[in-house]
A and B are shown apart, each in its own frame.
Chain A
Amino acid sequence: MNKQMIKCINENMDEIIEKWQAMMKNEKGERFFHFMPENLVEKTSREFAELMTTNIAENNIINAEKLTDFASKVVRFGWSIKFVNKAIDNFSNITFDLLEEKEIIHHDNVRLFHGTFANWISPLRETIIEAYSVEWERTVNLQKIALQELSASLIPVFEKISVMPLVGTIDTERAKLIMENLLEGVVKQRAEVVLLDITGVPVVDTMVAHHIIQAADAVRLVGSKCMLVGIRPEIAQTIVALGINLQDFTTTSTLQKGMKEALELTNRTIVEVK
């Protein structure tokens, strides 16, 4: 029975693909095919159709290898999961109609064919969802790592002066990392003055302020001085409104001004040479 079905699909492949493409182009909000050059749409459609048909089991035994192959290839098309789901639906509906039209499916065996179709489509859908969620998890993890790498290195700029540029949102995890890197770096680099640059921090709320105050206290405990630099005017205003006390800090609006003060603190100055 399945053999007959596969044979019919293969013989009418062009017609199926044409109908399927027309349906996919009409999907609202999912315009993957609109931005693709026509020959690429053609190529991808054929590839997809082939992947779909090779997964019709000849004797209802599902081939795990072919399934994985299907999922990993379809993920690489770069479609949204909604679009993929629709693509599978449409493909299965079109083939069902075709098989009815060719009288391979008729009212005596329609129940049987429903089973065959379920056996064909469900595993495809399941592996696709699985593949997408694995892919998303991987992406999220990589981004987490990327964020961690980007966050909080203490950079020795001059002898005795180090800078930590903070970029992005500070959550509890990053705050911990900032503290660790700061203390370790101060000792290793023998920094006497540390400049914490918050130019790249979008929001300074009481939690961020609290972490900064704690970091500065810790730096003080190991015998160095912590300056807070890069305070944008709007951030200065919100800090004041929040009633956060930064009296114990040297604060400057820019890193440049902070650096000048840090040099003065360590009895140095920048001179122009002729």
Chain B
Amino acid sequence: MERSVKLECRGVWKIFGAHPETFLKKHNGAPTSKDFEASHVVGAVRDANVQVFQGEIFVIMGLSGSGKSTLVRCLSRLVESTAGEINFEGRDLLKMSNAELIDVRRKKMGMVFQHFALLPHLTVLQNAAFPLEVQGVSQNEREDRARQMIETVGLKGREDHYPRQLSGGQQQRVGIARSLVADPDLWFLDEPFSALDPLIRREMQDEFLRLQSMLHKTIVFITHDFDEAIRLADRIAVMKDGCIEQIDTPENLVLNPATPYVEEFTRHIPRAKVIKLSSIMSKGVPEGEYAGDLDGHLAVADTVHQLDEADLPFRVLDEDGKPVGTIDARAAVDIMIGRTAA
């Protein structure tokens, strides 16, 4: 099934410092790491090529300072790229006038920030309604819609609180409500949960997945946490020093790292956490008795208990819920303990 490309960037560079264009030209549009070291400019994003498909969760992952935030700001044109091309729904984002850009942002884009970026003088309700207020939507309508959104993110009853009266997790829920209130198609999240405590973070990740299962947005999600990335991503782009090292599914990143850096990065990740049932099932479903059905999307680690407790194998379902294979406890345990399957 081929999905349409929502957002695409080709050969995007972002260089901070004096005269970035001249610098780029001097090195024929492709300066190397050495060139950067020898100069006073920073190559925050280097030759990024990304395609984000309609409805997927695209995660950009990398250590702090690797250029994730800069890349996502190039994609939303909060930062002007030094070079490159960005297409949003087939339109050249970089050629848009200011008025067009404002229009696109109002109707089609939403963004969540690491430190929430709420307006301190507005209540929860007013914060959530803010994008609509800016668009000139009438007070009644915007407050109705904001109220719904607040309920969706689970903050009902706190509409009249001010941001500083809320915990970090609650504040980020307001940030999420604000970013979704105008019903955008493309949703940017820049390390939305990094400022939260680990327990809250997990809770928010679940909440995020629940929202996405309802809303089906196209998502660009930034994180420096690989566990978070695997939990959420359909595909992951790994960044290092401004370069994208590899773009792939979590499973492929772990099983087939393209560069030594990615390998190093994924080494500590238990295979069972990323390998999906559909990858290790035996194809074909012979007639017989089964303990039940499992979604082929699930990671081995999440199902191993179930598999182990049952005496019979399970059927594995594809995306449409059709049985396509079978799996038993032994295959799962092999992966868990790292025994290569015969």
Q: Does A pair with B? A: no
